[in-house]
Structure 1
C-alpha cells in the first residue's frame, strides 16, 4: 500500500488531478511528535495492520501531500472512523446538520510543515477525528454493507453532470442527513491546504 501511495504522486505535474480513496478501518493513536491539535494521530488499518502496522496520517502526509507539485491537485475521500483530519491539512471546514460551516486552522502546534510543494490537497472525510463513521445502517438502503460517505458520494456524482466542491459538500450533507439521524454520528468534513 505504501508503494502504491508513492506511485500515485510520483512524476505528477501541473494539471494532474489525483484521487486517493480509502474505505475501511481507521483509528487513532497518541501523537508522539507534537504535530496534532487534538494530541492524536489518525491511522489507516489495512487488512495486514496486525503484522505490518498501521499507516499514520504523518506517513500519508509525507508520501502523498508534501510532494504534490504546483498545479497538481489531490482529491482524497476517506470513509473511515477517525477520518476528520486524516491528511493533516491545515484548513478544515466543518459542516453541521443545519448546513452551517466554519473553517478551522489546524496548523501543527510544533510548527511542522504539513503543506504541499505548491499543489492543492483536498480531503473529504466521513466523520470527525473522535467519531465513528456510519456503514451498517446503509445495508437497509442498499442491501450491501457500505460506508455512508461512499454511498452518498457515488449517488451525488451519478446524478450530477458537473459538480463544484460547494455543491458536492451540500449534496453529501443532505444525503448523509438521513443516515446521521439514524446513527447519531458522522459530520462531513472538507479540508484543504
Structure 2
C-alpha cells in the first residue's frame, strides 16, 4: 500500500512501481520499494490497467523519461481551470458602486498571471455592465446561467473560481435552514425588478455538483457575504477552530458537495457591511476585500489560507476607505466594520494548506 503524500489517500501499487500519480489530487508519489529496485529487474513489465480502479496512475520502472513526460502531458490536458467573474456597478442608479469593474480587472489579472488561468472566454467568463454582449451583463438570468456553466461537466483535477463584487443583502429564512434566521443574497444589476440570488440557490447550483477531485473557490466582495455559499464549516479566526454552520432544522436541506472541495472567502460576516477603498492610487476605487486579497497574494508567493486571513484582517484598519458601503449606497463613516471570513465544505489546517487557485 502507498499513501499519497498530499491528500493522504491510500492506494495499492504494483510491486515494482517506482512512481504513481494520484487521481484525486494528481500528486506524483515515489515508492521507497521502487527506488530500491532501480537497476534491478528493469526488463520486467507489469500491467497497470488493473490499478486504475484503485485510484492511481502507475508509471512503470522500465519507462524512459520521454515516456513519463508524454504521459504527464496527456494527464494535464484533463485539468481545467475555469472562472466566473461578476462585477456589478448598478449604473444609472442611486446605489451605484464605483469599484467593482476595477475589482474584476484585478482578479482576472491575478488569475492569469499568478495562477495561470487561460486568458480566453472558454475559461474566464466576465460579467460586467461594460460588456457589449447582452449575455455578459450581470443580470439575474445571466449570472444564474453562468453559475451553471462554471460547474458543468466538472472533472477530477478541475479548479473553479466564482468571484462576485457588488451589493449584498439579507432576507428572512422561511425554511429554517439558517442558524441566524436570515438567507444571504447577492444583487444582480436588475435585482429590483427580478429579485436577488439567495445562498440556497448558489449552494445547490455550484456546491452540490462538485465531484471528488474538483476544487471550487468563491471570493465574494459584498455586504452580508459571510456564509453566502452556505458551507457547513466556518473558520473562527480568534479561536483558530472551525465552527459548525450546518442547517439547524429537523429535516435539514443538503448543503454538501458530491465529494469535491468548496472554499469561500467573504468580505465580511453575515451581519457586517463591506466597503470601497481608494487605496489603489491612480486606479480609482476598489472593494477593500479584493484590494487586500490581490495585494497580499502578489507579495506572498506561498501564503497559506490562515496567513492570508490574518494579513487581510490586519490590513483592514490601514485602508483609507471611500465614502460608500456596499449596502445600497449608505454613507460610510471613517472606520471599517468588516472582517473577512473563511468557510469550507470540510475542515482543514489553514496554516499548512497553501492558498492556490
Report the alpha carbon displacement of residue 167 of structure 1 after superposing the two structures with TM: 2.4
Bigger drift between 87-96 and 6-15 goes to 87-96
Write the deviation string for residues 160-191 of structure 1: whole angstroms up to 9, x where unpaired.
22222222222222222424995241112100
CA distance in 2, matches of 1:180, 1:128: 20
TM-score normalised by the chain length of structure 2: 0.50
Within 1, Cα distance between the matches of 2:179 and 2:270? 11
The one-character-per-residue Cα deviations of 1:141-165 (angstroms, maximum 9, x if unpaired) are 5352211110001101211222222
Match in the other structure for 1:104: 243
Counterpart selection for 1:49 from 191, 213, 218: 191
1:152 aligned onto 2:152: no
- Is 1:3 the counterpart of 2:155? The answer is no
Q: Which has the larger radius of gyration?
A: 2
Aligned with 1:85 (options 203, 214, 227): 227
- Alignment map for 1:25-40 (pairs within 5 Å): 25-40=167-182
If the length of structure 1 is used for normalisation, what is the TM-score?
0.91
Higher helix proportion (structure 1 or 2): 1
Structure 1 residue 122 corresponds to structure 2 residue 254 = no
Which of 338, 343, 348 lines up with 1:186 in the alignment? 338
Measured in 2, the distance between the counterparts of 1:151 and 1:113 equals: 33
- Which of these residues, 3, 6, 12, is aligned with residue 154 of structure 2? 12
Q: Which deviates more, 54-63 or 100-109?
A: 100-109
Q: Which runs of 5+ in 2 are unaligned?
A: 1-142, 322-333, 346-357
Q: How many residues align?
A: 188
- Native 8 Å contact 2:278 2:320 kept in 1: no
RCO higher in structure (CA 8 A, sep ≥6): 1
Aligned residue in 1 for 2:62: none
